[in-house]
Structure 1
Amino acid sequence: MELMDYNNFEKKERAKKRVEELKGFYIHFMVYVLVNIMISTVIIVSHMHNGDSFLESIWDFGTISTWIFWGIGIFFHGMKVFSFNPFLGRDWEERQLKKYMEEDKKQAEKYK
């Protein structure tokens, strides 16, 4: 009975962690959108005040650079949260954990 309670507690903790990761990603994404809209608006208005047309202001690298570079960060954050990692995925983590646990077990047996 006690093992069953522990498993349920462990599942609940993993689910809680997952929800927190998703919440963090969604907050990060919303901040990304809102801040970039404000930055872009300020840059566009500034460029138009200096005589550029609206389209010239939008396609200026300074206007879209924060969208691009911060967007790269959002992309990698999303990859982590949604468990898409083609190089070091969950299987790799589990294999490494098992490997190190076996090494520790062997080390402990040496000194028995």
Structure 2
Amino acid sequence: MKRDRENRYDRKEMDLNNPDSEYEMAYRKVKKIKGFYIHLMVYVLVNAFIILSSMNRNSFQNGDFLNWQTYSTALFWGIGLVAHGLSVFGRNIFFGENWEEKKIKQFMDKEKSQKWE
């Protein structure tokens, strides 16, 4: 039954006026967001374990704590995590919708207020 439900949610063509299709779209979005947060939690836990396990009294004295091997997993996995976040939240995560238009209007309003008319 779960497989049937997932197949229903993967349909490309949905009737946007149908309340069921709105629910399906919201359900898929929530699943994607939940998947990202689980990925983030596992990333933090695993990389914290790797970094903390490399910490001991000798590693600070020998400079081993600053080795590439200590942080390479966090770096490359972090790149994948950023890509996952962009696929879930979209590219407009920092700028949002209509950001350019709002910024242009803000600068135009600022120019108007600074003129000596």
TM range (shorter): 0.5 to 0.7
Does 2:51 correspond to 1:44?
Answer: no
More helix by share: 1
1:71: which partner in 2? 78
Aligned length: 78
Percentage of identical aligned residues: 40
Query: Could you tell me which residue of structure 1 aligns to residue 91 of structure 2?
Result: 84
Which string of whole-angstrom CA distances, capped at 9 and with x for unpartnered residues, describes residues 16-64 of structure 1? 000000000000000000010111112223xx4xx33269343211111
Give the equivalent residue in structure 2 for 1:18. Answer: 29
Return closer, same or farther for 1:32/1:54 CA change in 2, 3 Å cut-off.
farther
Deviation >6 Å, runs of 4+:
none
User: Which residue in the other structure is 1:109 paired with?
Assistant: none
TM-score (norm 2): 0.58
Q: CA RMSD in A?
A: 2.5
Contact 1:44/1:63 (<8 A) preserved: no
Equivalent residues of 2:51, 2:71 under 8 A apart:
yes
Please tell me whether the aligned partners of residues 59 and 65 of structure 2 are also in contact (alpha carbons under 8 angstroms). Answer: no
* Contact persistence 1:32–1:70 (CA under 8 A): yes
TM score, norm. by length of structure 1 = 0.61
- State the secondary structure of the residue aligned to 1:44: coil
Q: What runs of 5+ residues in structure 2 fail to find an aligned partner? A: 1-14, 93-117
Return 5+ residue gaps in structure 1 as ranges.
86-112
